[in-house]
Amino acid sequence: MPNEEEVKQKTAAPETPAAEEKKPPKAAEPTIDLLDETQQRAAAAYVAYIEAQRQLERAYKEQEAKAEKSYAAALEQARKESQDAIASARKSYDASLAHATKSMEDGLSKARQQLEEISAQARKTYEDSVAQSKKQFEDIVSDAMKKRDEAEAKARQEHAESMERTWHVFTKARR
């Protein structure tokens, strides 16, 4: 195939000068005209092929950019949801801890006035409440991390499928 410079030169060159048109045609000239026309058609086809290939590459790059953007957005959303869930769990944990602390202090003040048994019961209530709050906190953090992992896995899968479709279209088009 001729390179692009040859194609541009051939398409830029006039078909026949005005002076040659006035001469009577020779027997060999129709063959030359046919050859010029064939070369011009080949050059035009080659230029069209190159342009189509460039368009295909641009489309591939656009599709790849869209897939990357979608992947990044999914990761960012998963990160935000995870942070929100952790913040909510921390807030709940802190509130539960504050409530448990208050309950313990109230129980201790009553225990000072009453029996030692009430003090032990208040400590037990405090420890159970803290343990339960901590368990809830850990469960919520665990669920948030699972959701984040699932969202990341889904985003990776969608990204991979998008890239595979794009690559398949690109390679199919190049054939």
Cβ count near 44 (within 10 Å): 13
Token pair of 51 as six digits: 């342009």
Does the pLDDT value for residue 34 go beyond 60? yes
On whether the CB atoms of residues 158 and 74 are closer than 8 A, the answer is yes
Digit-coded pLDDT (tens) for 20-32: 444 544 554 555 5
Three-state DSSP state, 22:
helix
Does the pLDDT value for residue 163 go beyond 80? yes
- Rounded to whole angstroms, the Cα distance separating 38 from 27 reads 18
* Predicted model pTM: 0.34
The better pLDDT of the pair 158, 19 is held by: 158
Three-state DSSP state, 103:
helix
The secondary element (H helix, E strand) that includes residue 71 is helix 29-113
In order, the DSSP letters of 74-100 are: HHHHHHHHHHHHHHHHHHHHHHHHHHH
Does the pLDDT value for residue 18 go beyond 60? no
pLDDT, position 13: 46
Digit-coded pLDDT (tens) for 124-147: 898 998 899 989 999 999 999 999
Does the pLDDT value for residue 165 go beyond 50? yes
